[in-house]
Structure 1
Amino acid sequence: MLYSWLATSFNLPSTWKTERVLLNFAAVDYEATVFVNGYNVTFHRGGYFAFAVDVTHYLKSNGTNELLVFVHDPTDSDGYVIPIGKQTLRPSHIFYTPCSGIWQSVWIESAPSNYITQLDISAGMDGQGVPPSRTNSSNPLTDVVNTTVSSSRNAGVPVKIAVIDRNSKETIATHSGTSDVQCTFSVPFVNLWSPHSPTLYDITVTLRDDEVTSYTGFRTISRGKVNGIERPLLNGKFVFQFGTLDQGFWPDGIYLPPNREAMVYDLGVLKELGFNMLRKHIKVEPALFYQACDEMGILLFQDMPSLRPLQQKTLDNCTVVTILPGAAQQDEFARQLELLILDPTRLVDSTSGWYDHGAGDFSDNHHYANPQCGSPFYSIPSSPYDPGRIGIQGEFGGIGQNVSIEHLWNIKDAIDTINQTYEIDTSIEAWNYRGHRLLGELLDQVNFYSCSGGIWTQTTDVEGEVNGLLTYDRRVLRPHVRQWQADIQSLYDAASSRSNNSMVS
């Protein structure tokens, strides 16, 4: 069990003439008690989510202010079953070094007495799931924005919303509404967002003296039958979604990348190879990560960080029991899950691989190394393909290739687990040959069966795992780029040919 104190001091800018001062934390792992000038100003639980507190009454307008944060991180502690993803105090192969404390940005900002606390935006394609009349993104139909502007104090305050073309900087639509009430308005002549054309529009929202900026993309994600097969639909069309398992660990910062450029570098490698999606694996990233995905044209499967991995303890009577969550811990997991899910229009993969209880939009299979996607064959613990849902290969590949020590996580316990990798290829040529063969198997399942998407394991090596497209230090790229580009494009072409002259229902 980890306890820590983090301390700093700050002065208010001399130019601030404000009614409120807000203290913001983007993420603290796991519980944070915040003190300003000796006053306990807030408590927050959950290692992945932002929180803010109005500290106006606790500040010195002239002079230095003291900020103290007391952190409790109960990872692997007796009795605690919390959302931690792959973190553990006892790293071993697929479980890694834990992160603790303030791991994302902290900042102060000024605000008027009634300020904007949250902006929820959903911009769809004509406001419909599958509008059959739309044939391309430039068709001059009206698209719909649903927006809720939450305020800090009085509800029902007038707000103004402007939609701005990011390229021309021209305002293309405006709307007047009220705070804390969902409003819907139309925006004509917009281009739709897609991985091939990730068009975004800026949003400016004004609530009296407060103004915030954001952005949106016009897109509708849904599902429907295409030629009798259940498919994921983007803007009313079947788009084969192919990405990587993306864990977001870093050798120098564990959960936190060294800078935005490093984080975007990983995404750029995926785009260059031809991936149009990634599965963010049981971790929640900084907001800049998701913004970069939107700007670069990358769809996302977002995992909820899992509870503490199944572990055991020995009781006083020598009985060995599995550590499981109690009712209160399950309720806390559900509370944090609701914080993660802000958009109820998205598709849900209720169980990625493993034992399928029949819920959600996807029939998801995990199998290493070869895929079993939407196919008439499967291996336990995955379940047989369910034609009533979308067939997807939630994880496959996982083939590894060892590298020299300067590119490894140089910890003996991690190095000792390398041979637990699903498959080890002894040369980079063998690794690329095996990748080509496995992508060819997935291609067959797109052509002949009901495969609608796949997730290759994984973007980078992590500690004792050496099955990444990139090594852990991001200095070695394993794929032969042209080969992988061609193999991935073949998946998209096959999916397109299966949906030509399609009937969507």
Structure 2
Amino acid sequence: MKRLFAFACLVTTSWFAVQAQDWKPAGDKILTTWGEQLDPKNPHPEYPRPQLERQNNWKSLNGLWKYTVAEKSVSEKPTSWEGEILVPFAIESALSGVGKEVGKDKALWYSRTISVPKTLRKGRTLLHFGAVDWQCDVYVNGQHIGQHEGGFDSFSFDITTVLKKGADQEIVVRVWDPTSDGPQPRGKQINNPHGIWYTPVTGIWQTVWLESVPDSYIVNTKQTPNVETSTLTVSANVDGAQAGDQLVLEAYDGTQKIADASVAVGSEAKLKVSNPTLWSPDNPKLYDLVVKVVRKGKVVDEARSYFAMRKISMEKGSDGIQRMYLNDEFVFHYGPLDQGWWPDGLHTAPSDDALKFDVIKTKEMGFNMIRKHIKVEPARWYRHCDSVGILVWQDMPSGDLGGNNWDMQPGKISNGVHDKDRAPESEAIYRKEWKEIMDELHNFPSIVVWVPFNEAWGQFKTKEITEWTMDYDPSRLVNSASGGNFAYIGHILDIHNYPGAAMPDPNLFGDKFVLALGEFGGLGLPVEGHTWQEKDNWGYQSFKNKEELKDRYQELVNDLNELIKRGLSAGVYTQTTDVEVETNGLMTYDRKVIKIPEQELKEMHNKLYQHVVQ
């Protein structure tokens, strides 16, 4: 029997290797270096959940799956398949190997027969999806095990009871995604890409993986630092907990244990972290955390995590103007609008190294912040920001656009008069996914600002949504509507202005809100051989060469510096990279050309961080 099993594994492995040899990127668009070097036998092999690690009991299911596109009305598993698709890349992307659009009248089906070793069949076996856009039905061995709606949050199913005897198990996934024809959060996707609107992303676009867990296991944790009391509050959701179970926590600085606590499962624990080193962009100090479930003295489940001690707040200076403070000191937030798009993977970076590259380059350019623009990244991206030391403003992906009476001029509108009237279904979808996103990202210390709305795109019930966000996570600041309709709620008043630097009037709003320039710049420079298309590319203001671009950028930074003196707390430059026909990135879309050298940018930016507030 062992020989037969080994032979079956050998046959499966050999088949996969042959299929992988046939894979190649679809289409003729530019590729990143990581895309050119992608190994289809092992895409995104890294452990995908850095805030709750069980490293030894998991298996990546990324790789080649069978796919077909069928009529939306068809609910039965297809009897034939069109070809192979490389997971976790959306079907429209080059790296999927397909490069095909789907649309609202079709459904995308996936199938793969996998081997589940005995090591993954102890206790419970979980099937995890990092993200699937948008409505996803999952079948294992012919049985429907669940449906999930939401394109930016992870989900999982317990498949223990549907696994068959023997190694081979069939997974089938059906995805329907209406993109811009539906009300769901979608970010910059649109069915007819043009201008600032990009190619649809349909289907699996983050890692798919199996995990073995005990019958009683830690589902997730919630970790919130308090700098004033030098404590970390921790709670955990434990599935299958029994009466008397204890949640045991241990905090480490390297190999040295610095704190521990034990409480009943279901209760909050407080870890006392004496004399903590506070996390900041200049010193991104992280501590390790071990979380255990203990029953009658025996460890039932154990996972590793990490945390940081940091505080984000708003305070008035002696001039009466509110400003953003990090760890009780004024820190000007300056960073790029980062959309997280890739010419070869669309929403999906071609590799973890590529994902990390953008963060590191941003830091090397002298930025201390990133505004993650109407997209949610894989968890590993936030881990990179935590480790490198980048402040993150996290947007909620937009959806259900159109229909807003939009006025960007603060001072001219009253609360709520320009809110969009969204249907109950649309509201429910938004609220559910925003909560899921906030829950999923809560533990990443780099995130310091939540942004529920961008530029009146689907903006609705602004006061209610903002107040809910503030109440749900009081440990962060809330920017209710970046550049959108101002309902005078939340912590931040944020305008957009292209191309020059501007700010809300400090005399009118400075005593109540942190003042921010949520988007500006957009200086364009197409670089031949590195554009999405050969002509008709654009920026908000375009230039012929790098020297002209650099000179104009220097002017913007000089203007920004003067606004800080008047009370500006943050600026967001558009943008990190070119994206499709937009050529206003500091890097080309393929990341092969940096338009202004990193060190020169850093020298320009240094003066922005020298301001002292009394």
Q: TM-score range by the shorter chain?
A: 0.7 to 0.9
Contact 2:119–2:212 (CA under 8 A) maintained in structure 1: no
Residue 9 of structure 1 corresponds to: 113
Q: 1:171 aligns with which of 246, 250, 257?
A: 257
Is residue 72 from structure 1 mapped to residue 189 from structure 2 by the alignment?
no
Q: Is the 8 Å Cα contact of residues 125 and 144 (structure 1) preserved in structure 2?
A: yes
**Superposition map of 1:269-348 within 5 A:** 269-310=361-402, 325-342=422-439, 343=442, 344=473, 345-348=475-478
Could you give the per-residue CA deviations for residues 337-360 of structure 1, whole angstroms, max 9, x where no partner exists? 111223401100001013211111
Distance 1:258 1:365 in 2: 33
Matches of 1:101 and 1:125 in 2, distance apart? 41
Is residue 2:556 matched to residue 1:438? yes
Alpha-carbon distance between aligned partners in 1 of 2:246 and 2:147, rounded to the nearest angstrom: 32
Partner of 1:193: 279
2:305 and 2:506 map into 1 onto residues whose CA distance is 45
Quote the offset at 1:272 in angstroms: 0.7
* Aligned-residue RMSD, C-alpha: 1.8
Give the conservation status (yes or no) of the 8 Å contact 1:374–1:445. no
Q: Secondary structure at the match of 1:288?
A: helix
- In the TM superposition, residue 375 of structure 1 has moved relative to its aligned partner by 4.2
Structure 1 equivalent of residue 21 of structure 2 = none
Q: Is the 8 A contact 1:374 1:452 kept in 2?
A: no
* 401 and 17 in structure 1: CA distance in 2 versus 1, 3 angstrom threshold: closer
1:161 lines up with 2:230 in the alignment: no
Counterpart residue number, 1:361: 491
Indicate conservation of the 8 Å contact 1:280/1:303, yes or no: yes
C-alpha distance after superposition, 1:197-248 (max 9, x if no partner): 0000111111131111111011111111122220111111111111110000
Q: 1:390 aligns with which of 490, 505, 514?
A: 514
Distance 1:367 1:235 in 2: 29
Q: CA deviation at 1:376?
A: 5.9
Q: What is the rounded CA distance, in whole Å, between the counterparts of 2:258 and 2:166 in structure 1?
A: 44
Alpha-carbon distance in structure 2 between the residues aligned to 1:265 and 1:364: 28
What is the CA-CA distance between 1:434 and the residue it aligns to? 0.3
Deviation of 1:295 (Å): 0.2
Counterpart CA distance in 1 for 2:583 and 2:438 is 32
Supply the AA of the counterpart residue of 2:603.
A
1:282–1:306 contact (8 Å) kept in structure 2: yes
**Contact (CA 8 Å) 2:400, 2:426: kept in 1 or not?**
no
| Structure-to-structure mapping, 1:177-216, within 5 angstroms | 177-208=263-294, 209-216=300-307
In the TM superposition, 1:397-476 aligns within 5 A as 397-404=521-528, 406-410=529-533, 415-416=535-536, 418-419=537-538, 421-447=539-565, 449-476=566-593
**Letter of the 2:111 counterpart:** A
Question: Aligned partner of 1:388: which letter?
Answer: K
Distance 1:253 1:125 in 2: 40
AA partner of residue 402 (structure 1): P
Task: Work out the CA distance in 1 between the residues paired with 2:384 and 2:372.
Answer: 13
> Is residue 364–residue 599 contact of structure 2 (8 Å, CA) maintained in 1?
no
- Following superposition, the deviation at residue 185 of structure 1 comes to 2.5
CA distance in 2, matches of 1:291, 1:471: 24
* 1:76 positional shift: 2.5
Q: Which of these residues, 182, 205, 208, is aligned with residue 103 of structure 1? A: 205
The 3 A distance-change label for structure 1 pair 262 and 178 is: same
Residue 22 of structure 1: aligned partner: 126
Q: TM-score, normalised by structure 1?
A: 0.87
List per-residue Cα deviations over 1:351-375 (Å, max 9, x = no partner): 1013211111111111011111244
> Could you tell which deviates more after superposition, 323-332 or 89-98?
323-332
Q: Does the 8 A contact of 2:315 with 2:322 survive in 1?
A: yes
CA distance in 2, matches of 1:480, 1:262: 19
Distance 1:215 1:61 in 2: 38
Q: Is the 8 A contact 1:280 1:302 kept in 2?
A: yes
Q: Give 1:386 deviation, angstroms.
A: 4.7
State how far apart, in whole Å, the 2-side matches of 1:461 and 1:155 are: 53
Look up the match of 2:147. 43
Query: Is 1:483 matched with 2:606?
Result: no
Deviation string, structure 1 residues 169-207 (Cα, Å, up to 9, x no partner): 222111111222222231213211010000001111111
Kept after mapping to 2: 8 A contact 1:283/1:304: yes
Aligned residue identity for 1:105: T
Supply the distance in 2 between the matched residues of 1:374 and 1:202 (Cα, whole angstroms): 41
Task: Determine the structure 1 residue equivalent to 2:501.
Answer: 371
Amino acid at match of 2:277: N
Q: 1:114 aligns with which of 206, 216, 232?
A: 216
CA contact (8 A) 2:510 2:567 kept: no
Q: Is residue 150 of structure 1 aligned with residue 237 of structure 2?
A: yes
Unaligned runs of 5+ in 2: 1-103, 295-299, 405-419, 443-472
Q: Is the alpha carbon distance of 1:38 and 1:363 closer, same or farther for their aligned partners in structure 2, counting shifts above 3 Å?
A: same
| One-letter identity of the residue aligned with 2:362 | L
Counterpart of 1:428, as a letter, is: K
Cα distance, 1:17 vs. partner? 5.8
Counterparts of 1:61 and 1:226, CA distance in 2: 68
| Deviation at residue 309 of structure 1 after TM alignment | 3.3
Partner of 1:132: none
* One-letter identity of the residue aligned with 1:425: F
Q: Give the conservation status (yes or no) of the 8 Å contact 1:432–1:480.
A: no
Gaps (5+ residues) in structure 1?
128-142, 313-322, 378-383
Matching residue's letter, 2:312: I
Q: Provide the C-alpha distance between the structure 1 equivalents of 2:505 and 2:602, rounded to a whole number of angstroms.
A: 24
* SS at structure 1 position matched to 2:547: helix
Tell whether 2:138 aligns with 1:34: yes
1:259 aligned partner: 351
Equivalences for residues 215-234 of structure 1 within 5 A: 215-227=306-318, 228-234=320-326
Give the deviation of 1:153 after TM superposition: 2.4
Instruction: Quote how far apart the aligned CAs of 1:401 are.
Output: 1.0
What is the number of equivalent residue pairs in this alignment? 455
**What is the rounded CA distance, in whole Å, between the counterparts of 1:266 and 1:452 in structure 2?**
24
Secondary structure of the corresponding residue to residue 15 of structure 1: helix
For 1:137, the equivalent position in structure 2 comes to none
Match of 1:139 in 2: none
More displaced, 249-258 or 203-212? 203-212
